[in-house]
């Protein structure tokens, strides 16, 4: 299939327009040279709407849209737990985590670990995050994005990889986080508008032109097995979403690690004008997360009815649906998909460069000029994209559900990371040795379960590993002493939030309670 001239025109206008806007917002005032605060934290200038939009744009990328739609096709509505529970987690993070992080005025999450523990903990986690971002996150976004371009526009996958990498570099490499965050506002508008339109068309097709309400009713009848929020043990996909574990177990651990301690997500909040502005941005993002399953999961379930026969390759569901769009709208929806992809690529590469420059390079090469560190950051951003483009196909070419690939392998480290941060923020007795024990124990115990109990669902495995790491961290904390001068005690922060923030939190909880009650 090839795009029509009007679709190509819309897409080219989007690409050119985004690069121009990114260049404009990246310009500095006359006489001011961009420093590390400007490049990595947008000069602490982000407003709530930029933070909220950028959080969603960074999160919703190819692995979310294509991957979760593919999981929606295969698993059903239950996979939406990842989206809906994230809304609750975001509100918790805004109230209890952000006050601590912003009080320390940090650039990176590893930097906080040095403040609380010591440099060894900072270095270990910095290396881990760089590895995961390049070889799991970047590769998956690039691979799925190029797969979508191949399906919709007929472009060879290799050329798709090159285009996405070059596009992301063109609009984000010079301006850094400021260029990424402010252009993400455009990306989110495109993403939501294009995604909702695709859902509308899909439901209207199922409803045979009688509207989306009729279409949704028919969908729940024709794909009734796909509307179980809690999977039973006899479900063929139980190992991917094992029953009640999805609600009370490892999914919470995943979300705390991703939304609370993940550099390329939390970096937006660290760049806020103030704590209150960051919290308003978090609340805005939580509200957007409530509607995301309509955009990223429901189309996959609709594709199960409209395009049967994709069981072996469910990640093709969303790209195949895009091909049903009329001329003009196809270009818009395609642009929305690419918008989601490149915004995540820009966010990830900026965070990789932030961690490498501020946590590793500046430690071993201190005292260099601000311009030097910014140049290093740009070089690292470009290098990470090139490495990910080279590794994308070898790593993901044989996975039919890339979203599960991401969860599977990040889950090796996630339990330990959550314990390190929770203990660091809220338990005075935690020591550097206990943090390292949790990090190393998380990987080794996860690997042992993966090798010797492969049939264990990965969420159940994470529950077991979390308990093991918890016991390890507590035991080592009581067996060691905080002797290093680098170790700082837990600092108290103000956890008071505004009435508006509390109202949003209650609203999110009530909406999600109603959803789970309906589709239990």
Q: What is the DSSP letter of 498?
A: -
- By mean pLDDT, which of 17-31, 204-218, 482-496 is the weakest? 482-496
Would you give the DSSP letter of residue 326?
Answer: P
Q: State the average pLDDT over residues 250-271.
A: 86
Q: What percent of the chain has pLDDT over 90?
A: 30
* Helix, strand, coil share (%) of the chain residues, nearest 5: 75, 0, 25
Domain boundaries in the chain? 41-107+123-247+263-401+500-519
Residues 138, 351: contact at Cβ < 8 Å?
no
- With 60 as the cut, is the pLDDT of residue 429 above it? yes
Q: Give the bridge partners for 272, in sequence order.
A: 46
Going by pLDDT thresholds of 50, 70 and 90, the confidence category of residue 265 is confident
Residue 381: what pLDDT? 92
pLDDT band at 428 (very low <50, low <70, confident <90, very high): confident
For 361-390, the pLDDT digits (tens) are 998 998 888 889 989 999 999 999 999 999
Q: Which CATH superfamily is domain 41-107+123-247+263-401+500-519 in?
A: Sodium/glucose cotransporter (1.20.1730.10)
pLDDT, tens digit, for every residue of 152-179?
Answer: 788 888 898 999 999 888 878 877 888 7
Lowest pLDDT segment from 35-39, 396-400, 476-480? 396-400
In tens, the pLDDT along 147-158 reads 878 877 888 888
Mind listing the pLDDT tens digit for each residue in 330-373?
887 788 778 778 888 888 898 899 999 999 999 899 888 888 99
pLDDT tens digits along 434-481: 999 999 999 999 999 988 998 888 778 888 999 999 999 999 999 887
The pLDDT score that the predictor gives to residue 30 is 63
pLDDT at 334: 82
Name the residue with tokens 């991957």: 67
Q: Which tens digits make up the pLDDT trace of 50-75?
A: 899 888 887 877 667 777 888 889 88
Per-residue pLDDT, 486: 47
**What tens digit of pLDDT does each residue of 181-217 get?**
878 788 788 888 888 888 999 999 999 888 899 999 9
Residue 254 has pLDDT above 80, yes or no: yes
């Amino acid at each position: 299939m090839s795009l029509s001239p009007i679709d190509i025109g819309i897409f080219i206008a989007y690409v050119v327009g985004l690069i121009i806007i990114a260049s404009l917002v990246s310009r500095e005032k006359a006489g001011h040279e961009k420093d590390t605060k400007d490049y990595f934290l947008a000069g602490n200038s982000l407003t709530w709407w930029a933070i909220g939009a950028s959080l969603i744009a960074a999160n919703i990328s190819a692995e979310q849209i294509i991957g979760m739609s593919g999981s929606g096709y295969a698993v059903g509505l239950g996979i939406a737990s990842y989206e809906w529970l994230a809304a609750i987690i975001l509100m918790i993070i805004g109230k209890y985590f952000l006050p601590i992080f912003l009080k320390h005025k940090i650039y990176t999450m590893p930097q906080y670990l040095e403040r609380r523990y010591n440099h060894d903990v900072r270095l270990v986690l910095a290396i881990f995050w760089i590895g995961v971002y390049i070889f799991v996150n970047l590769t998956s976004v690039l691979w799925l994005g190029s797969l979508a371009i191949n399906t919709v526009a007929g472009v060879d996958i290799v050329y798709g990889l090159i285009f996405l990498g070059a596009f992301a570099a063109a609009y984000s490499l010079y301006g850094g986080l400021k260029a990424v965050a402010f252009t993400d506002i455009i990306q989110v508008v495109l993403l939501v508008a294009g995604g909702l339109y695709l859902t509308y068309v899909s439901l209207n097709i199922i409803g045979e032109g009688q509207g989306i309400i009729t279409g949704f009713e028919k969908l729940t009848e024709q794909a009734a097995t796909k509307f179980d929020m809690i999977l039973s043990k006899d479900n063929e996909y139980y190992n991917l979403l094992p029953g009640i574990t999805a609600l009370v177990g490892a999914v919470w651990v995943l979300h705390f690690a991703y939304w609370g301690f993940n550099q390329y997500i939390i970096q937006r909040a660290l760049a806020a004008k103030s704590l209150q502005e960051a919290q308003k941005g978090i609340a805005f993002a939580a509200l957007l997360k409530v509607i995301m399953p309509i955009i990223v999961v429901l189309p996959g379930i609709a594709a199960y009815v409209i395009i049967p026969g994709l069981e072996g390759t469910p990640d093709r569901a969303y790209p195949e649906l895009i091909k049903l769009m009329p001329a003009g709208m196809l270009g818009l929806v395609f642009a929305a998909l690419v918008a989601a992809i490149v915004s995540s690529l820009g966010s990830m590469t900026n965070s990789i460069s932030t961690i490498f420059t501020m946590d590793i390079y500046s430690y071993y090469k201190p005292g260099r000029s601000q311009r030097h560190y910014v140049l290093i950051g740009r070089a690292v951003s470009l290098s990470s994209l090139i490495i990910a483009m080279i590794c994308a196909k070898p790593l993901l070419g044989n996975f039919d559900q890339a979203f599960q690939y991401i969860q599977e392998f990040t889950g090796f480290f996630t339990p330990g990371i959550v314990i390190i941060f929770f203990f660091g923020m809220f338990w005075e007795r935690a020591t550097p040795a206990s943090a390292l024990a949790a990090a190393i124990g998380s990987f080794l115990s996860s690997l042992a379960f993966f090798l010797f109990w492969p049939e264990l669902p990965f969420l159940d495995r994470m529950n077991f590993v979390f308990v093991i790491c918890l016991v390890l961290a507590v035991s080592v904390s009581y067996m060691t002493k905080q002797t290093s001068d680098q170790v700082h005690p837990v600092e108290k922060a103000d956890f008071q939030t505004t009435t508006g923030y509390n109202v949003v939190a209650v609203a999110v909880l009530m909406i999600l309670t109603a959803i789970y009650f309906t589709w239990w």
